[in-house]
Amino acid sequence: MFQDVRFALRSFRRSPGFTVLAVMCLTLGIGATTAVFSWIEGILLRPFPLVKHQDRMVALTGTDRSGRTDVSWPDFQDLRRNCRLIEAFVAEHIGGTTLSIGDRAERATGSVVSANYFEALGVRPILGRTFTASEESGRNAHPVAVISYDAWKNRYGGDRNIIGRTQMLNAVKYTIIGVAPEGFAGTFVGYSFQFWVPASMEEAFEGGAYKLEDRGARWIEGFAVLRPGVTMDQAQQEISAMGARLAAAYPATNRARGFQLYPLWRTPFNQAGSLFPTLRISLVVACMVLFIACANVANLLLVRSVTRRRELTVRLSVGAARWRLLKLLLTEGLLLAAAGAAGGVLVAHWCRDLLRILFPPMPPGVIINMPAQIDWRVLAISGCVSVLATVLFGLIPALQIRSIDLASALKSEVSGVVGGYRRAWLRSSLVALQVSLSFVLLVGAGLLLKSTHAMEEADPGFSTRGVLLSAIDMVSAGYSPQRMRGFQDQLIDRLQGANGFESVAWIAVAPFSYRAYPSSPIAVDGFTAAPGEQPTVEYNRVGPGCLKALGVPLVSGREFTRGDDENAAPVAVVNEEMARRFWRGEDPVSKRLQVNGRWLRVVGVAKDANYSGLRETPKPFFYTALRQAPGGGQNLVIRTRLGPQALAPILRREVQEIDANLAPLEVLTTREQIDRMSWTQHAAVRLLAIFGGIALLLAAVGLYGVVAYAVSQSTRELGVRMALGAGASDLWRGVMSHGLGLTVLGMATGAALAIPLTRLLGDMLYKVSPRDPGSFLWALLAMMMVAAAACSVPAWRATRTDPVDALRDS
């Protein structure tokens, strides 16, 4: 073995070009695969550093007839008390708040959690303590907080006497009782939490009504830790039965509602669920790139084995056993794989934050957290990939020595362009396979690129030009509902007269935001639901003129005015889909709608729109008057001719002239808001473009190598042809036809593979068929252009052949 290693190293040193090219190909292939493995490990499988028992941890949500919902606190408590197959339930609710430190205030991301949060996750504080069971009950009764390690270091300078100090969150003074350990960022893939407060502080943290005793108020996103040996299916059966019992016991709030468990990689309320399709595609693509790299190195070794054929023949003729040569060639392959694996792990380490770079810009106070993990599991997978690569590209050329015929091999061999093709069928097949896989990747990139363009051009049902969004956090400043209403009216009056402001309105939930819309069971005059069914519809609270400012057209009736306040009759505006479904196509204006036990008069019908994402199907939706709600919206919709950078200072000045303690949050366009919600599609396009570019480069290198080798081995034939009168153009066509023939063969195979494989992109495509002919056409053109460029250099060299020298040397 030591002799084989020493000989292999000397051999590599004598062929530096071959060695560098082979190692680079493997580095790219193994690096891409290892990077994707690290993303899957750190985002889908074990997304929460320092959290124990992640293999037994599942996500928990509520369900109703419209799909997924949150869970109410009383329902959560019933699950805790009655489910025996689940070791612990953990509740949380992510949100942003104003954190005051000295004379400055900053935005910070935190979470309201159940008292057992840290204990159930197995996370111990490095300073102080976590929450006790008594601190999750009572109405704003326990203003205590645990802060993150990063907040402790960055905001408090790592003060070891931090325990017992106070900080202002949403104008409430909290006592810091603990510091989380370094590396623990919470349980929301995508964002790092900076503090945690107990469930008793939900009202102070979020604003609005007290929810801990309201079974109809659903605000919890949680997790469950299964007992050892319990499967998720068994736990699901138990909580489904519990949901049925609660629906029977509390029909007013729980009818047609239940609970759903998800594996961590499908968690629907953080980035894990939305990133799964992208990472699934990335894994398939990375494996394709690895296989292309292995095929490339296999071709390099095949060519090298032919040039070393005489050396191997001499070794056999002097008594070397064939298994001994097989061992030598496999040792060389193993060394190349080891070098490629080392380089691949290094590349993966450099690329571990690539997803964070692809993440869209976020507002101040939101810290992006995409925890790619290169741990022993990823390294073990990388080792297996290296061994697999060794088998793929090392065994094929090594087995060629079994066919060596000593008598004929010791004679000089002459190969020609025609005859050489038949002998080089294996090399040509590998190149055709590289071309086919590269073609599949190019088709996929084209489909996603076309889908992204379609999303950018899509009409979401509201204006994407000339409309800006912002928010003002009045809850954090301690505003009461009455004071909030006064501030809203005053700001609207000032902005309506300001230069550049065409119209301004308040809205409770901005379109395409991460915040869920409220929903409510409804009843409609003249509509009879099926037995045991009560329709539940999402809605939004909007201020006067909001639909006009947002650019949502009205089909009939009117929208809300300032007169639609708490002293006026309750009113609503419904969308077209709701009118079709519940009023059977009749004009619902002046008809009645019951929401949360209160009858509302329909005053208008708005055009259908997308509310949370471009891919959502039309659904019933309605709007209520913001001024008739107990709380107020904190989001602004501004129709203007100004851009965000020009408008932001004006808005800040007007706000602070009313209240110097308030400041608007970021100002962004509705198009930027839409792009944030569809960022995974953009990330998939970029990742597939990167991997497709690598695959195309490797395929071009492989094609160039095969054609160049065929030309180098055909010197005598080329000389004979030229001596018999063949011109340079004839030789050019002959060489180019060989290379382009391999390309056409590979693309035909690739097209056959692409038809089923592009279905994996189905849940990421928008208004584009997986069999879109335009994407196949552009992949064909790109592949042909690259192939022509790769073959042109060997073809040019063939035309420079001197027939006299070729015949003399042969």
pLDDT in tens, 344-395: 889 888 887 787 777 776 666 566 777 777 777 777 887 787 777 666 666 6
- Partner residues linked to 192 by β-bridges: 367
pLDDT, the chain, mean: 84
Q: 529 and 584: one domain? A: yes
In a domain, 770, yes or no: yes
Residue with tokens 């809850």: 475
Which residues contact residue 703 at a Cβ distance below 8 angstroms, ignoring those fewer than 6 apart?
Answer: 431, 434, 435, 739, 742, 743, 787, 790, 791
Q: 287 and 337: one domain? A: yes
Q: For residue 745, which of 439, 451, 446, 531 has the smallest C-alpha distance?
A: 439
Q: 534 and 453: one domain? A: no
Q: For residue 794, which of 731, 721, 723, 748 has the smallest C-alpha distance?
A: 731
In a domain, 78, yes or no: yes
DSSP code at position 641: S
Q: How far apart are CA 597 and CA 523, in angstroms?
A: 9
Q: 339 and 437: one domain? A: no
Which residues contact residue 156 at a Cβ distance below 8 angstroms, ignoring those fewer than 6 apart?
Answer: 101, 147, 162, 165
In a domain, 726, yes or no: yes
In a domain, 267, yes or no: no
Q: 364 and 429: one domain? A: no
In a domain, 481, yes or no: yes
Q: 74 and 197: one domain? A: yes
Q: Dihedrals φ, ψ of 768, to 5°?
A: -135, 130
In a domain, 418, yes or no: no
Which pLDDT score is estimated for 72? 93
Which residues contact residue 22 at a Cβ distance below 8 angstroms, ignoring those fewer than 6 apart?
Answer: 297, 300, 301, 336, 340
DSSP code at position 517: P
Q: How far apart are CA 255 and CA 772, in angstroms?
A: 44
Question: Among 638, 664, 690, which residue terminates a domain?
Answer: 664
Which residues contact residue 140 at a Cβ distance below 8 angstroms, ignoring those fewer than 6 apart?
Answer: 172, 200, 201, 203, 204
Q: 15 and 154: one domain? A: no
Which pLDDT score is estimated for 224? 96
Which pLDDT score is estimated for 206? 74
Q: How far apart are CA 559 and CA 573, in angstroms?
A: 7
Spell out the long-range contacts of 656-662 with Cβ–Cβ below 8 A and sequence spacing 24 or more: 657/494, 658/487, 658/490, 658/491, 658/494, 659/477, 659/487, 661/477, 662/472, 662/473, 662/474, 662/477, 662/487
Which pLDDT score is estimated for 415? 44
Distances (CA, A) of 144 to 141, 198, 211, 225, 474: 9, 7, 19, 25, 22
Q: 388 and 440: one domain? A: no
Which pLDDT score is estimated for 475? 74
Q: 499 and 633: one domain? A: yes
Percentages helix, strand, coil for the chain (3-state, rounded to 5) are 55, 20, 30
DSSP code at position 516: P
In a domain, 670, yes or no: no
DSSP for 27-87, written as a single string: HHHHHHHHHHHHHIIIIIIS-STT-S-GGGEEEEEEEETTEEE-EEHHHHHHHHHH-SSEE
Total tally of structural domains belonging to the chain: 4
Q: For residue 802, which of 710, 723, 731, 708 has the smallest C-alpha distance?
A: 723
In 10 A of CB 541, how many CB atoms?
22
How many residues appear in the chain? 810
Q: Tell me, what amino acid is at 400?
A: Q
Q: 616 and 525: one domain? A: yes
Q: 526 and 502: one domain? A: yes
Distances (CA, A) of 773 to 384, 446, 711, 778: 38, 10, 36, 9
Q: From the first residue on, what is the mean pLDDT of each consecutive set of 10 residues in the chain (810 residues)?
A: 83 82 86 88 87 94 84 95 95 79 67 95 95 91 92 89 86 90 89 90 78 89 95 96 94 89 90 82 86 82 70 73 76 83 87 77 67 76 74 63 57 43 66 88 88 86 91 78 87 84 91 81 83 81 93 94 91 95 89 89 95 86 89 84 88 87 84 83 83 85 77 68 74 82 89 86 81 90 89 79 63
Q: How far apart are CA 290 and CA 436, in angstroms?
A: 14
Task: Give percent of the chain above pLDDT 70.
Answer: 89
Give the domain extent around 168: 66-255
In a domain, 6, yes or no: yes
Q: 501 and 630: one domain? A: yes
- Partner residues linked to 145 by β-bridges: 176
Which pLDDT score is estimated for 419? 36
Which pLDDT score is estimated for 762? 74
